[in-house]
Amino acid sequence: MAPLRTKINKKELILTEAAKLFKDRGFGGTGMRDIAEKVGMEAASMYNHIKSKDEILELICFKIADAYTTQLSEIEALEESFQDKLKMIIKLHVELIINDAAAVSVANNDWKYLRDEKKQEYKSIRKSYERSFANVLEQGMETSEFKTINVSVALFTILSSLRWIELWYKPSRNISADELEEELSTILLNGINI
């Protein structure tokens, strides 16, 4: 049983370090030797855990996509106001970006390097996530919890505001994850009007 655990840990280490390298150098600028060096393995030994660089990218992208879609489905099913659901979605984004910044960056930026079949699958998951998110906004508009505006404009303004966190947030910014989440919720739900 112990060798299986070691194999899982090595695979996770490979994925974690590869995500950091992909974020810093880009998918195209990172080779298997770079990843092997980062995890302290021979490149040939990595193939005991991972088939290819393409597989690494797939695993990272689909892990993040699954985290977003699973948690959004759970939020949608709650008996909460749509404002509270939107706050929970904002919290989901903040937490994922802060806790797994490199992988989120790869999923946001390097998914276009997925092999065609996987790229189509990934795009389909993203579209489904966007539809579900838009549904929360539409329902909030229907119940007058949100102002009635163009749903696509609202959706992509919110998503764009959340995606910049990966580029901007650092612990040295003197704002905690909770404070960041609260500030974003305030601005995205209420704007900055007095």
Q: Is the pLDDT confidence value at 21 over 80?
A: yes
The mean pLDDT value for 155-180 works out to 87
12 and 92 both lie in a single domain:
no
* Residue predicted with more confidence, 115 or 174: 115
pLDDT band at 63 (very low <50, low <70, confident <90, very high): very high
Q: Is the pLDDT confidence value at 176 over 90?
A: no
46 and 74 both lie in a single domain:
no
Range list of H helices, the chain:
2-25, 32-39, 43-46, 53-77, 82-99, 101-109, 116-142, 151-163, 165-168, 177-190
pLDDT band at 145 (very low <50, low <70, confident <90, very high): very high
99 and 162 both lie in a single domain:
yes
90 and 140 both lie in a single domain:
yes
Q: Is the pLDDT confidence value at 131 over 80?
A: yes
Q: Is the pLDDT confidence value at 193 over 70?
A: no
Q: How far apart are the C-alpha atoms of 129 and 151, rounded to whole Å?
A: 14
DSSP structural state of residue 5: H
Q: Is the pLDDT confidence value at 7 over 70?
A: no
- Give 138's contacts (C-beta < 8 A, 6+ positions apart): 151
37 and 86 both lie in a single domain:
no
Half-sphere exposure of 137 (CA within 13 A, CB side): 23
Q: Which domain holds residue 116?
A: 53-190
186 and 98 both lie in a single domain:
yes
Q: Is the pLDDT confidence value at 154 over 80?
A: yes
Q: State both tokens at 108.
A: 């946001």
- Which pTM value belongs to this model? 0.88
In DSSP notation, 53-80 reads: HHHHHHHHHHHHHHHHHHHHHHHHHS-S
**Per-residue model confidence (pLDDT) at position 1:** 47
Residue 145 maps to which CATH number? Answer: 1.10.357.10
The mean pLDDT value for 93-112 works out to 94
Domain end marker among 12, 32, 50: 50
Q: Which of 127, 131, 121 is nearest to 58 (CA)?
A: 121
Count up the domains in the chain and report the number: 2
The residue behind tokens 């797939």 is 58
Half-sphere exposure of 125 (CA within 13 A, CB side): 21
